[in-house]
Amino acid sequence: MTDKTKMVKNLIDYLTSKNLQITRAKYKGYKEPEEITEFVPDIVGFNKKSQLFHIGKVVNCDEMEDQEVISQLQYFSNMEMEDGTSKGKLIEFYIGVPKSCLSEMEKHLNSYSINTENVHIIPIDV
């Protein structure tokens, strides 16, 4: 199992512990997430109570300055629900990062002007 696969699994476990139903994930036993505009998240979950989608993306320490990753973080952090009872609300966005680069990710979010209102950085054991 690659580090990235372990990270996805750990983020799935975290989201499941928050009572989210994982609908798609880049992990065995789940359907692959679909492309949203031009980006594909690692995990898609749904909260039945709030009727709100949650998206997860795992980022390795060496990917934090990659322009493609930055674009994904900016895009996912600004996504809104398009219909249903939660229409117009920001989708909750979880970024799984190795514990060793947690503070670095926090700095990057600020420097890249990423909306942090709905963003949760989750430290992950690798």
Q: What is the pLDDT of residues 54-77, one digit of tens each?
A: 999 999 999 999 999 999 999 999
Q: What is the pLDDT of residues 40-52, one digit of tens each?
A: 999 999 999 999 9
Task: Parse the chain into domains and list their residue ranges.
Answer: 3-124
pTM of the model: 0.94
- CA separation, residue 19 to residues 3, 37, 67 (Å): 25, 27, 32
Residue with the two structure tokens 């949760």: 120
Q: Which residues, 6+ apart, have CB-to-CB distance to 12 below 8 Å? A: 22, 25, 27, 43, 56
Q: Does the domain at residues 3-124 carry the CATH identifier 3.40.1350?
A: yes
Q: What is the pLDDT of residues 6-22, one digit of tens each?
A: 999 999 999 999 999 99
Q: What is the dihedral of CA 124, 21, 35, 5, to 10 degrees?
A: 30
